[in-house]
Structure 1
Amino acid sequence: MRILAAAGLVAFGLVTFDALLGAARAQVDATVDGPRRDATEAVREGAVVIRATTDEAEAAGLLEGFRQLHPGIAVSYAKLNSSKLYEEFLAEAETGRGTADIIWSSAMDLQVKLVNDGMAERHASPEAAGLPPWAVWRAEAYGITAEPVAIAYNRDLLPEERVPRSHADLLRSLTQNPEAWHGKVATYDPERSGVGFLFLTQNLAVTQKTWDMVRALGQAGAKLYTTTTAMLDRVAAGEALLAYDVFGAYALERAKDDPRLGVVLPSDYLLVTSRIAFIPKAARHKAAAGLFLDYMLSREGQARLAARSVTPSRPDARRPDDPVVTAPNPRPIAVGPELLTSLDQIKRSRTLKQWRRAIEGR
């Protein structure tokens, strides 16, 4: 298991988690008390409301660290599916009564669309200097993580010699032995999941053989899901042999405690995705939101994410034992306007129609 060691994702810090937190705490305190941030106003607001696609268990350390630094600010956190988060945010914004304070989603394209549509508050975080260039767009959208898109499999039911080590291996196996896989493969449903659509379009950007993969998945009777957690549950239970295109962070964290789960980072190319955060212009608690976003981007906040097998975007916050550090052929998905191409409604409709035909074997 291996992670990013490529241009643009620079070297990883070789420090322990506890040491990193100690070194970072003074830096975070200085940022909080600096002239740019009205911490007094944030305390007066008294709350920060976060809507995210990240499971609360994965964000628990981050939330705990912020609460320790700012006990006077109540933190409200709710997890939603990426498409539902997008739709509910738009509906909330339309009411004119204000919105949540932080929108944090793994659906990179939908996040960039919201920012491009003028719905994000500009926030020139002092922590942005610690991020790679691909993770920042217009001082409005910030890539918080740098995560591999992986393959998960059941180690008890799938012999090592049958485990695909690349996209090409999986395509070959699905094509040559569809009966062996029938009904035993899980993957995202791009019609119902924003993340699923993002992964589909990003795989297509790498290779048009992605359509062959979709057809092979259809021939194998792949089951479709809207979350990585649901897919990992099926794999662990033996209801699926393999899950294709899952969040590597979730899979690797689960695999620590569940010997039934194995994780592969494809060797031919590795999509590296990011969970983007921004502050809405209509946020009800903007000062508190600014404090929270700065903490998310700080070395301490990023290290707390790293403690849960989430690869942070900051190179100096990554764990030395991060299992993806030597991954070949990483393909980071940059935070920026290039992601808007796939969301053109005509192109989106065309892509989903082609996906439907391919998955149904038509």
Structure 2
Amino acid sequence: MLRRQLLMTPVAGLVAGCARTDGARFGGLEHAWRARAAAREGGLTVYANTGDAEIEPVVSAFHAEHPKVRVDFQRQNSAELYQRYLAERRAGKPSADLVWSSAMDLQIKLINDGYAQTFDTPARAMLPPWTIWKSQGFGVTAEPIVFVYDRRRLPDARAPRSHAALRQMLEAGQLKGSVGLFDTGRSGVGFLYYSQDRQAWADTLALTRAIGKTRPHLYESTFTLLEAVTAQQILLGYNVIGSYALERQQEDPNLGLIFPEDYTLVMSRIAFISAAARRPNAAKLFLDFLLSVKGQRLLAERNLTPVRNDVAGGVGKAPGASARPIEVGPSLLANLDQMRRRRLVADWREALGPDHVDDYRRVRDSLVTGNRP
């Protein structure tokens, strides 16, 4: 777990600090009142699995507007975040004021189980309906799930542009190299994307069988999967978080990226205010900032595609015609039904076949591991 405390020196006068917030933009008098209350609280604790590079510009800009509000940003992977928050709450211990994670189903479970509080954000009017549940869970990003590939071995002109094209090329033996994908049995986001694939496309199992013939490598993080592509250990990565792929592509132009033309899953990092938040006003102020035009633009600069309707799309926004958003809502709870989960994982393992011996553990040991989902 990476723990990072970001502190700013208070400047003279709360009035000057409030003037910089441009309160009319964010809700007028109510926002100004919340900013004063947050300053009295002094800060907030955020549990998240978003990387430092993506969040630090946002936190810095937030501090510039609210210098008396300290952000204790504690990064961990999605499973650790869920287990830690739940254990602390059950034990009655201090925990996060704001919880923000890409594990959409786990976030919805916490909200459904009463761990979140209602929040009426002024940004609501500019958010798509699929990004909000019960006025408690808010999707902050709209990130496409993509294919990535090694351009040195697979020219752009030959790269498959859809799930159907990928299946056809694999079955015809036209892709010479292994495919990498999340381990559906071990990765929360991997299971989420696989279950969404099953809903979106009737031939998902057939594609999984075709992938199985490549002796695929299995992963638990986007970071290690992208490392494997750039290290030429695999030819193509399937169902990769687009924001991280775009970031890596800027560093390595040999990494190709595809938004599938038949459908592109779009996931969102869900945030909620803890029902037991010790500093609820600071948490609401920070969530307001994440959902504000300025906050969304800053996220877009780090390839975390904005979710607001009135903010221009970040780099790599999925085309509207093919975008299939994963709705923030109770349908995600089905993923946590253990009988359903075991059945889907068993189907996936059977389709992948017994020959995928190059599993994520051996691959992971040969790479510099990361903490990204």
The TM-score, its normalising length taken from structure 1, stands at 0.86
Deviation readout 1:58-84 (Å, 9 max, x if unpaired)? 122211111111111221222222222
Count of aligned positions = 336
Q: Which amino acid aligns with 1:174?
A: L
From 337, 340, 343, give the equivalent of 2:333.
340
Match of 2:362? none
Distance 1:211 1:28 in 2: 52
Say whether residues 1:69 and 2:65 are aligned partners: yes
| Superposed displacement of residue 247, structure 1 | 0.9
Deviation readout 1:151-208 (Å, 9 max, x if unpaired)? 1111122223431111111112222228822xx3211112222111110110011123
Seen in structure 2, the aligned counterparts of structure 1 residues 139 and 131 have a Cα distance that, compared at 3 Å, is: same
Q: Do the aligned residues in 2 keep the contact of 1:81 with 1:227 (CA within 8 Å)?
A: no
Q: Do the aligned residues in 2 keep the contact of 1:167 with 1:266 (CA within 8 Å)?
A: yes
Seen in structure 2, the aligned counterparts of structure 1 residues 285 and 165 have a Cα distance that, compared at 3 Å, is: same
| Superposed displacement of residue 30, structure 1 | 4.9
Q: Do the aligned residues in 2 keep the contact of 1:33 with 1:39 (CA within 8 Å)?
A: no
From 315, 318, 323, give the equivalent of 1:330.
323
Q: Do the aligned residues in 2 keep the contact of 1:49 with 1:100 (CA within 8 Å)?
A: yes
From 74, 94, 100, give the equivalent of 2:96.
100
Distance 2:194 2:215 in 1: 18
Q: Secondary structure at the match of 2:44?
A: strand
Match of 1:3? none
Match of 2:171? 175
From 178, 186, 192, give the equivalent of 2:180.
186
Match of 2:116? 120
User: 5 Å matches for 1:267-346?
Assistant: 267-319=261-313, 322-324=315-317, 326=319, 328-346=321-339
Q: Which amino acid aligns with 2:227?
A: D
Say whether residues 1:145 and 2:138 are aligned partners: no
| Superposed displacement of residue 106, structure 1 | 1.0
Q: Do the aligned residues in 2 keep the contact of 1:37 with 1:287 (CA within 8 Å)?
A: no
User: 5 Å matches for 1:25-36?
Assistant: 26=22, 30-31=26-27, 34=30
Distance 2:191 2:164 in 1: 20
Tell me, which stretches of 5 or more residues in structure 2 are unaligned?
1-19, 356-373
Distance 2:220 2:38 in 1: 35
Distance 1:179 1:260 in 2: 17
Q: Which amino acid aligns with 2:192?
A: L
Distance 2:24 2:352 in 1: 49
Distance 1:102 1:66 in 2: 15
Seen in structure 2, the aligned counterparts of structure 1 residues 25 and 232 have a Cα distance that, compared at 3 Å, is: farther
Q: Which has the higher contact order (CA 8 A, sep 6+)?
A: 1
Tell me, which stretches of 5 or more residues in structure 1 are unaligned?
1-23
Q: Which amino acid aligns with 1:331?
A: R
Distance 1:217 1:37 in 2: 55
Q: Which amino acid aligns with 1:146?
A: A
Q: Which amino acid aligns with 1:41?
A: A
Match of 1:16? none
Q: Secondary structure at the match of 1:278?
A: strand
Say whether residues 1:51 and 2:47 are aligned partners: yes
From 62, 80, 87, give the equivalent of 1:91.
87
Distance 2:168 2:24 in 1: 49
